[in-house]
Amino acid sequence: MSDEAAQRANERVAAYILEQFEDEPGDDAAAQHLAACDSVRVTDPDAQNGTYGCDTGCDYTRFKAVIACDHGQQCEFKYGEFGRLSDILVGLV
pLDDT at 80: 92
Domain locations in the chain as residue ranges: 3-90
Between 67 and 90, the more confident residue is: 67
pLDDT tens string 34-48: 999 999 999 989 999
Between 5 and 63, the more confident residue is: 63
Banded pLDDT at 12 (limits 50, 70, 90) = confident
Residue 52 has pLDDT above 90, yes or no: no
DSSP secondary structure, the chain, as one string? --HHHHHHHHHHHHHHHHHHHHHS--SSHHHHHHHH-TT-EEEEEEEEEEE--STT--EEEEEEEEEE-TTS-EEEEEEEEES-HHHHHHT--
Residue 10 has pLDDT above 90, yes or no: no
| Average predicted confidence (pLDDT) for the chain | 87
Contact 17, 79 (CB under 8 A): yes
pLDDT at 71: 94
